[in-house]
Chain A
Amino acid sequence: MDLMESIRQNFIDEDRWKYLFDGLMTTLLITLFAVLIGLALGFLVAIIRSTHLKTGKLTILDFFCKIYLAVIRGTPVVVQLLITYFVIFGSVDISKVLVAILAFGINSGAYVAEIVRGGIMSIDNGQFEAGRSLGLNYRQTMQRIIMPQALKTVLPALANEAIVLLKETSVAGYIAIADLTKGGDIIRSQTFSPFLPLISVALIYLVIVLFLTHMTGKLERRLAANDRR
């Protein structure tokens, strides 16, 4: 079978390219919203944990955050996805994509939390003291002095976390979501030719990741230039 024939069979016949296209849209949708949830959750957890470290307050919340971090980072994301779908939402009629967004978002939140907490703790304590010595309260000091600096230092790492998450969503097929990976696999199972569908899937991921990495690099260089100012 020559290449043209194979392309026709895998992508054109029965509009099979749509598995890839729709799958890609699903992958991007899950990633985008999971990133947003991860950021919100991660920042919340990071602020609770660093507030606890700096002031000794929020002990109970900090305890729950620690459990969350240990559980999420100590178990595989696929298992978390399966549990979210079959156990937590097992008896609820809910969109699988929504379940995936939640599961991946909650997963990503743990990694974001550690990145952001590292960023906050990396800011010299003198910054905090200068703010407090002027009479600013804890929240004002965090908002206007610590977080802007911390955010800047962690931005590249956060972008990287989003890239990692994009690739991790490829296990969404475990709960029968037709994401990009699953799309390629469906084509493979219909045409019995694994090469083109799977290589195409890989290439699509690669192109997106390379693009995002390129943008992250650009961002990093701009931040560095800002620093030299």
Chain B
Amino acid sequence: MIDVKGLRKTFGDQEILKGIDAHIEKGEKIVIIGPSGSGKSTFIRCLNLMEIPTAGTITFDGKDITHLNSKEINMVRQRMGMVFQHFNLFPHLTVKKNITLAPVMLGLMSKEEASKKADELLERVGLPDKANEYPKQLSGGQKQRVAIARSLAMNPEVMLFDEPTSALDPEMVGEVLLLMKQLAEDGMTMVVVTHEMGFAREVASRVLFMADGNILEENTPDRFFTNPKNQRLKDFLSKVIS
């Protein structure tokens, strides 16, 4: 579904991604781990062209998306949901409006359809009674669930998560991971940057280890965690799994 070849990204004179190759099949759940600053966010943001790659190709559904005009880029983004560490809900809009804004504005749904879809999604993320509240009134975990619902409203083919639980109080991490697990079970194609090793083990079809702008190791979670080969991965794992 997504094929990344020789992906490079530089900011100024700093090369952040140094030639990444990756392949993501439909329905796969890819979990990316790695130390801070290794380029995980940059990589995932290249996938939906929030960052424009400096070199290399990204093929999405058989089409090279690295040389699109801005209109075509917007079309690609409509098909890929993105969930951010800091939720980025729209504070001036109600929960329901947060969810319906894009599909209605982009002409994908009528107001009524979008409203119905929002109700369904809020049910699905366990917040059916929050439709008319404002983001301020929600807890962190609830905000992230609404943000996920907002992305799902676009009926995306892939969901990209950039450390979706890193900004949450510990007691709220579980509810978001649970929702992501359900999403995975429903067959969603997912790319998840996270430090939640339990989630990686349980949900990932493959785990990628990134460091210094490279993917140093890539394996099924079972082998990735029980039999890591790369020394830096071994060091990293010994630090995060104590």
Contacts and interface: CB of A to CB of B under 8 A. Distances in A.
A136 B50 contact: no
B23 to A, nearest CB: 23
Interface residues of B, number: 29
Contact of A137 (B70, B86, B92, B134): B70
A130 B81 CA distance: 10
Interface stretch (A7-15, A63-71, A141-149, A160-168): A141-149
A75 interface: no
Interface stretch (B4-12, B13-21, B100-108): B100-108
Interface in A12-60: none
Give the size range of A's interface with the partner.
20 to 34
A148 B93 CA distance: 10
A229 B136 contact: yes
B78 A134 contact: yes
A135 B154 contact: yes
A193 interface: no
A132 B77 contact: yes
Interface string B115-137: 00000000000000000001011
A129 to B, nearest CB: 6
B102 A229 contact: no
Contacts of B78: 134-135
A137 B49 CA distance: 13
A140 B48 contact: no
A207 B50 CA distance: 52
A76 to B, nearest CB: 39
Contact of B82 (A133, A149, A152): A133
Given A140-B105, A144-B105, A129 B88 contact: yes
B236 interface: no
B110 interface: no
B75 interface: yes
Contact of A135 (B74, B86, B147): B74
A142 B151 CA distance: 19
Contacts of B90: 127, 130-131, 145, 149
A3 to B, nearest CB: 55
Contacts of A135: 74-75, 77-78, 102, 106, 154
B60 interface: no
A227 interface: yes
A136 B105 contact: yes
Nearest to B101: A144
B48 A133 contact: yes
Contacts of B92: 148-149, 152
Contacts of A144: 101, 105
A74 interface: no
A75 to B, nearest CB: 38
12 contacts: A124-B86, A126-B88, A132-B50, A132-B74, A133-B77, A133-B82, A134-B78, A134-B101, A136-B106, A138-B70, A149-B90, A228-B136
Interface of A: 124, 126-127, 129-138, 140, 144-145, 148-149, 152, 227-229
